[in-house]
Structure 1
């Protein structure tokens, strides 16, 4: 990567991760704090925990499309401003209703698609995957860090202080966008990085992609419903809220290396289904374990390590399957819908967790994850495993008067190893899905106008 590309990737990753840190820092403590607010009920507390997911899902794709029209940075500034306002509303909240409003406003600043599109604008095709990987890693680390730092910070500054800190993180994001992230020389549509409106219907009808969207939906439903009552169980088991990090930190540190062998196993195509089925089954048994042993801190710690391992594993495997399953030239749209499903799952996790807590008690909430896993097992058992193909983009010279899209697509498909080919005339590129083991790269490179 060029120096400017490294700077862009690092700056955008920092913006993305600080926003996610602010969203998740209150996750391990909000349930305890919100129950003491005027007007609080278990249902409303669950809604406060998951409210960000609904607005995030509603605005993510529209704001990404808006960034095509008015520019990436204006949309990101606007999203960070909404995030800032939501944080301030939650920090000043004197009732559960204001917390819900603040969390919903935080989620409405849905800048993920705009950040990914800006990353694509600021990186060459050959290194774009590295830029996206930097952002992905930063998000994963921010989630882990949020669980660890949230509880001790609560002891120092309280939950309102966490929201004030989140507001400062939003301001830091604006400064990074201004002084670190370069302005793009040209903003264009990148079909493998951002949603495209006319592709939405096709992506949402694809049976494999729909199953993968449901999988990430169920994963986040399970995780968020867990945090509706887990802090309450830890307190009942005798662990003060400021000490909850004592369980979260070892669980996070164990989970990161523990998932690696299973990711390697999943990379072998014939093992993906086994890894998925095993992960869902173990996740379901773990939530049942919380139901049975939620008074034992040692067992809760072990179960947390297992749950975080499964969560991190599926957060890596499922997007990879989406990338393989999405037709050539539609990866950005497929990932946009996938992310929206994830946040709808977070919202419903809070809502269903609150409902179960209100009507059946704390222990019943853990069964939400168990019942979800039963439905999920049926889903992954019949999931078609996408063919293990790589994505490749070649630049084309589309300026010639005799340029024929259909003819060129057919010629590309005749190259050994090329399975799918879609030409985007407006971008001047061809999106390909290829079998790297059998591709005639020399013949394929003859179609390229430049070496990208």
Structure 2
């Protein structure tokens, strides 16, 4: 087998870990389109608490996902992932048995404590070769998108037949299914991927946060998930008022999300061909702003709301798919794990703040107010993108380095920097690896010759 495709083991790793991620995300997201409609029997029900319940997982997830990644480095990936899924299942059971909205909020917060994202991605990196790692991560990314689409389909159907309680019990079952996949389908790692690729280093987090290009992207994912969560506090109620009974909401959400996938493809293709990701990024933002304006102005017109949902997801899908790859392109070489740590934390905090803001705005000024607040926040993000640079299309490599001391590491890094096509190079003595960012003129054999010079 050559290096061009995924090996049988790598395919198994990619699809089993993507399934674990997807099952967990479905468990988190299925509540989104239905809670405002099916939670009205709960004691203490109010729009503010609906928002908090939808977004509560984001706070605990944001706080714990970097520490859980670091624990997985110490105690092993699988034990930490399994423990996280157990905690997630316990949170689901708490929410299923809750009779008050506060109980659901507590259950959702416990769900978020099972923060396994960093550990799952680190395990995926451990079990794949460097040159295939990007493909595996892409498969996991696509599966997360698919799980979100399925949650928009499944949430309303499950809630209709089993109620909110049944939906939470199903979520607990999905967590158990994820545990079985991890235990019996995912191979045990023999090696650990270099930390710089996969896990956050606490000392580097502050620098990642304040780096101007990364700050724009982190602020962006924060606003994107804030807006998504806030919109789903108000939109289901608006759709009912516009004449779409709650049992049929999936008939709007699911086709809109799938249709949006096809509509975003031209944005990606044009951005790559013209090497102008920034312009496509801004167009996606304007599409979402247009959709939010339509939701605010035509709140009682079902046809306009349907088109607005399609446009909203078109912009959302493009931005959600583009942001992680932009983080990887802009982050310093060898620090992708830390950059993605800050990015994921921003994403989860956005979900929590979106629930709070969406619920609070709905209580004070109604659904229209929620959409206007979301529109203003997207406008702020659009202004932030004005200083964004177009990323240069570079490839990243993580290569083994036969390095014995600091001086040799410094010499190797200097030699690598001189090679044609190498934009950035760093050799890490502790990990015995070299991280490279390169353009199309790079020759891998030359780099391997430098790195193997000590052998």
**TM-score range relative to shorter protein:** over 0.9
Mean CA deviation greater in 335-344 or 180-189 = 180-189
In structure 2, what is the equivalent of residue 345 of structure 1?
Answer: 350
Q: Equivalent residue of 1:238, what SS?
A: coil
Q: Equivalent residue of 2:80, what SS?
A: helix
Q: Given that residues 423 and 439 in structure 2 are in contact (C-alpha distance below 8 angstroms), is that contact kept between their aligned partners in structure 1?
A: yes
Question: What per-residue deviation string (whole Å, max 9, x for no partner) do you get for residues 41-99 of structure 1?
Answer: 22111111111111111111110011111111111111101110110011111001001
Mean CA deviation greater in 138-147 or 282-291 = 282-291
Q: 2:255 aligns with which of 250, 255, 272?
A: 250
In 2, Cα distance between the equivalents of 1:67 and 1:402? 28
2:76 pairs with 1:66: no
Q: 1:57 aligns with which of 59, 62, 83?
A: 62
In structure 1, what is the equivalent of residue 334 of structure 2?
Answer: 329
Q: 1:363-374 alignment to 2 at 5 Å?
A: 363-374=368-379
Mean CA deviation greater in 181-190 or 415-424 = 181-190
Structure 1: runs of 5 or more not aligned: none
In 1, Cα distance between the equivalents of 2:16 and 2:290? 40
The Cα RMSD (Å) is 1.6
Structure 2: runs of 5 or more not aligned: 1-5
Q: 1:214-253 alignment to 2 at 5 Å?
A: 214-253=219-258
2:156 pairs with 1:151: yes
Q: Given that residues 60 and 113 in structure 2 are in contact (C-alpha distance below 8 angstroms), is that contact kept between their aligned partners in structure 1?
A: yes
Mean CA deviation greater in 408-417 or 198-207 = 198-207
Question: What per-residue deviation string (whole Å, max 9, x for no partner) do you get for residues 197-230 of structure 1?
Answer: 2321221221111111001111111111100011
In 2, Cα distance between the equivalents of 1:187 and 1:420? 23
Q: Equivalent residue of 1:182, what SS?
A: coil
Q: Given that residues 258 and 309 in structure 1 are in contact (C-alpha distance below 8 angstroms), is that contact kept between their aligned partners in structure 2?
A: yes
Q: 1:426 aligns with which of 421, 430, 433?
A: 430
Q: Equivalent residue of 2:52, what SS?
A: helix
TM normalised by structure 1 equals: 0.96
Q: Given that residues 402 and 452 in structure 2 are in contact (C-alpha distance below 8 angstroms), is that contact kept between their aligned partners in structure 1?
A: yes
Question: What per-residue deviation string (whole Å, max 9, x for no partner) do you get for residues 299-341 of structure 1?
Answer: 1111111111111100111111111100100111111111111
Q: Equivalent residue of 1:439, what SS?
A: coil
Q: Equivalent residue of 1:192, what SS?
A: helix
In structure 2, what is the equivalent of residue 262 of structure 1?
Answer: 267
Deviation at 1:403, TM superposition (A): 5.9
Q: Given that residues 415 and 450 in structure 2 are in contact (C-alpha distance below 8 angstroms), is that contact kept between their aligned partners in structure 1?
A: no
Question: What per-residue deviation string (whole Å, max 9, x for no partner) do you get for residues 135-193 of structure 1?
Answer: 11111100011101111121111111010000000111111111101111133543122
Question: What per-residue deviation string (whole Å, max 9, x for no partner) do you get for residues 377-423 of structure 1?
Answer: 11011223333322122221124x69611111111100011111111
TM normalised by structure 2 equals: 0.95
Q: Equivalent residue of 1:171, what SS?
A: helix
Mean CA deviation greater in 215-224 or 269-278 = 269-278
Q: 1:405 aligns with which of 409, 413, 417?
A: 409
In 1, Cα distance between the equivalents of 2:183 and 2:452? 34
Q: 1:110 aligns with which of 106, 115, 119?
A: 115
Change (3 A) 1:111 1:387: same
In 1, Cα distance between the equivalents of 2:61 and 2:399? 33
Change (3 A) 1:134 1:52: same
Question: How many residue pairs get matched?
Answer: 448
